[in-house]
Amino acid sequence: MANQPSKITAQLPETGFLRLKQLVGNPKAIPPTPAIVPVSESSIWYMVKDGRFPKPVKLGPRTTAWRVEDLRDWLEKKSVEVYRPIKKAEQKPKKVA
């Protein structure tokens, strides 16, 4: 299963760039654009600043995009983090009232 691409990464092109609107999607567009990363635009910028999301590339004075390769790596890393089993030491103790 580790060698199989996830459903989202399989839909991404092999190389190229994606703009912010392509990452967060637009349900009101015709046809609707599905979100690759289900967070808001401001959350993406916050995660970039915080170092939790790949840095974008400036393609022009008003054009910013992300490398597909960087996004694919980030998505695969996140899917591994989400689906890894939780060890007993990592579980929070239950509060007793």
Is it true that the peptide bond before 31 is cis, omega within 30 degrees of 0? yes
Mean pLDDT, rounded, for 79-92: 62
This prediction has a pTM of: 0.71
Buried (b) or exposed (e) across 2-27, using 16+ Cβ within 10 A?
Answer: eeeeeebbeebeeeebbeeebbbeee
Has residue 17 got a pLDDT over 70?
Answer: yes
pLDDT tens digits for range 50-59: 999 999 999 9
Kindly report the backbone phi and psi dihedral angles of residue 65, in degrees, each rounded to the nearest multiple of 5, phi listed first.
-145, 165
